[in-house]
Amino acid sequence: MFEKLFRGRKAEEGGRILAVQNGKVVPLEEVPDPVFSQKVLGEGAAIYPEDGKIYSPVTGIIDSVMDTGHALAIMAKDGAQILIHVGLNTVELQGEGFVTHVTAGQKVYAGDLLLEVDLELLKSKGLSAITPVLLLNKDSFQEVIPFIGVAKAGETVMVQYR
């Protein structure tokens, strides 16, 4: 299936999730929400963003986009299931401040623009902009290694897995 979808353009190699935003990457344990910090949904890392643009961390297919625009899931070409959750409690905004650039079923390449969020709006509403990026099917892989430090969207490897 993927070979037909990605013919003519080089897909990312499996085993890595690129940074979805420019900013500081921290361990999930530092996310001030137990669903993420206790890794209930999956393993990964989170990023404190410098700007409101969110890019695809892998080549794959958009599995789902929340109606509110605050989260989306991607099925990577190598089978990794990735969740990007922009901010904490941002579902409460009911889509205010979010612009989605993709739809479910759409193929994307690493570095494609997925979403935009108004970080000033989040701040004015008292909401955290920290963005957890999770490998939902972590049990399908032997090892998941998050990167910690300053990241550049589409370039820095945020999480490696094998």
How many whole angstroms separate alpha carbon 155 and alpha carbon 162? 19
Give the count of beta carbons closer than 10 Å to the beta carbon of residue 79: 12
| Cβ atoms within 10 Å of 32's Cβ, excluding its own | 10
- With beta carbons less than 8 A apart as the criterion, state whether 149 and 22 touch: no
Reading the block at residue 112, the tokens are: 């494609």
Is residue 12 within 8 A of residue 110, CB to CB? The reply is yes
- In angstroms, what CA-CA distances link 39 with 6, 36, 45, 95, 100? 32, 5, 10, 25, 26
70 is catalytic: no
**Which residue is catalytic, options 21, 85, 147, 154?**
85
Catalytic residues: 85
